Structure 1
Amino acid sequence: MLRTALIAAACLAASPLGAIAEDKPGALNSTAQPTRTIQPLVLADASKSVSNADAKPVSLATQLKGFYITGALGGNWPQTVNARSTDANAAPYGYQDFHNSGVSIEAGAGYDFGSLRAEVTYAYDASALASYSDYQGYTPYTSPGRVAKNSALASLYWDIDLKSRFTPYIGGGIGYSTVNAAPTSDSYADYDAYYGNAFGYQFKAGLSYLINNRSDVYAEAVYRGMAGYPVYDGSSWYQYSNYNSMGFQLGARVRFGPR
């Protein structure tokens, strides 16, 4: 019996199973461990490479199309307005109105077709009468009257694709404008408020920065105006020339197209 047991033990030691049993307890783990740790890292690196390859940079081509809303705030600098009397029985008389600068606000909605955008907006341009000039010379208003121009405009814009987050654009629109001037006075007389309405228009050139595929911010130069309009100041009729202003606005757009 003893001899049989010794022979069995010797056979076990000589077999591969016996060699494994004689190894240190951590030997098997140390040789197998790299296989378990390297494999997930390789898979993670591979998935990262795939995701980086699939990611597309934000540009005009990747931005969402469809409906969007827009809003902007800025300032405007009105140009000189010429006025002349149109009363048949009155002596010919004309003058020029000069305005102080003021605030501009614009808000609306649009549709992005890709490189073309269509917009419908409401624009508010505020200023104040500063002075006027006639045959007697230059006269300042002692109580400057507030002047507000309100416009409803339909516009079309062309976005220029630079394959980057920066997108320049140009465009313009037409619509309907009204102007309201509050009562004012100078050292000679008081003047009633007046109201006028006429064809409106605007032209723009700007630069958008695409924050992501759904939103962008922009800065733009604006030339907005209205055609000439008749005005009754309480005693006489006058024909006013185009009321135009240069402006600058900062704004943002948010899109609602599908992802």
Structure 2
Amino acid sequence: MKYKHKYSLTPIAIAALVAFPTAALADGPYVGVSGGVVLPEDSSNAGEFDADVPATPDFGAIPAGTEVGWETQFDTGFAISGQAGYAFENGFRLEAEVAYSEYDVDTHTGLTVGGANIDGADVAILTRGAADPANPTVGAVIADGQGKVTNFGLFGNVFYDINTGSAFKPYVGGGIGYQWVDVDYMPSGVAVGADEDGTFAYQLMAGASFEVSDNFEIFGQYTWRDSTEEAEIPLTLVPATLGVESSQSIISAGVRVGFGG
């Protein structure tokens, strides 16, 4: 005699199978927090002298308006941010974000004055001291890249969550806002420039989230963030103003908690 084996699912098991692939952060308000690493782009610092630098017995005068600039490389840094937003049933999300990032200076290279590279010149050309064979070169002084850059921004973001019919949900987004850039350049311990400037900024995001429950999800995200213009930083070593770039790639992970139904 053959027996037919009958299998049945309990109501709890059926509910779990149905809920898991379609779990989603409930429509409505949410808050989130994230953190990660910053991969800053090199900054092509560029500016000009604001006033004449008088001649000395060893060096000629530098007229106001003379261009000055150099390249700065940065170390990997860190970023943290907090978000508050609203998720709509159609997949769109609106979000306000507070963002902070910080990274150290690695090195400075290629200092030019009036288009001429002066890395090999006596550093006294900038300090206006006496030339001396014992003095270090400009390049040697700026190569020791002490200092850091911090960024604090407020952004309004728009996201679109792609419905995959599962707990995994890719998304894309963009945002605009305002960012304060605080620059502290101190190569070899010499105070070159330390100030803050605010500029409009924008960011583009792509990531994916995983819904653990109706009101809780984890996510990973890539962000490209940049300012619409350079931060204008007055220098302290010489009478000049320098434009500093603050382009950043940010790789982060975080959590979101919803307060919808």
Q: TM-score, normalised by structure 1?
A: 0.74
Q: Percent identity?
A: 21
Deviation at 1:238, TM superposition (A): 2.8
Deviation at 1:163, TM superposition (A): 0.4
Contact 1:145 1:183 in 2 (8 A): yes
2:260 aligned with 1:257: yes
Matches within 5 A, 1:52-63: 52=14, 56-58=18-20, 62-63=24-25
> 2-side partners of 1:217 and 1:127: how far apart?
26
Aligned twin of 1:117 = 93
> What amino acid does structure 2 have at the position aligned with 1:211?
V
Aligned twin of 1:100 = 75
Structure 1 residues 232 and 57, CA gap change in structure 2 (3 angstroms): same
Contact 1:202 1:223 in 2 (8 A): yes
Matches within 5 A, 1:162-173: 162-173=164-175
> What amino acid does structure 2 have at the position aligned with 1:201?
Y
Query: Please, which runs of 5 or more residues in structure 2 have no aligned partner?
Result: 1-7, 51-63, 111-116, 120-138
> What amino acid does structure 2 have at the position aligned with 1:85?
G
Aligned twin of 2:213 = 212
Task: Give CA deviations for 1:101-126 in whole Å, capped at 9, x if unaligned.
Answer: 10110112010013011110111110
Which has more helix, going by share of residues? 1
Task: Give CA deviations for 1:70-114 in whole Å, capped at 9, x if unaligned.
Answer: 100100011011222233614322211111110110112010013
**What is the count of residue pairs matched by the alignment?**
212
> 1-side partners of 2:171 and 2:197: how far apart?
32
Deviation at 1:186, TM superposition (A): 2.8
> 1-side partners of 2:99 and 2:42: how far apart?
20
Deviation at 1:182, TM superposition (A): 2.7
Deviation at 1:49, TM superposition (A): 4.9
Aligned twin of 1:240 = 243
Aligned twin of 2:148 = 146
Deviation at 1:55, TM superposition (A): 6.8
Aligned twin of 1:132 = 108
> 2-side partners of 1:248 and 1:106: how far apart?
12
> What amino acid does structure 1 have at the position aligned with 2:258?
R
> 1-side partners of 2:145 and 2:245: how far apart?
24
Structure 1 residues 133 and 141, CA gap change in structure 2 (3 angstroms): closer
Q: Which runs of 4+ in 1 moved over 4 A?
A: 59-62, 137-141
> What amino acid does structure 1 have at the position aligned with 2:82?
A
Task: Give CA deviations for 1:126-160 in whole Å, capped at 9, x if unaligned.
Answer: 00111112224565553611211111000000100
Q: TM-score, normalised by structure 2?
A: 0.73
Deviation at 1:221, TM superposition (A): 1.0
Q: SS in structure 1 opposite 2:159? A: strand
> What amino acid does structure 2 have at the position aligned with 1:112?
A
Query: Please, which runs of 5 or more residues in structure 1 have no aligned partner?
Result: 1-44
- The structure whose RCO (Cα within 8 Å, separation 6+) is larger is 2
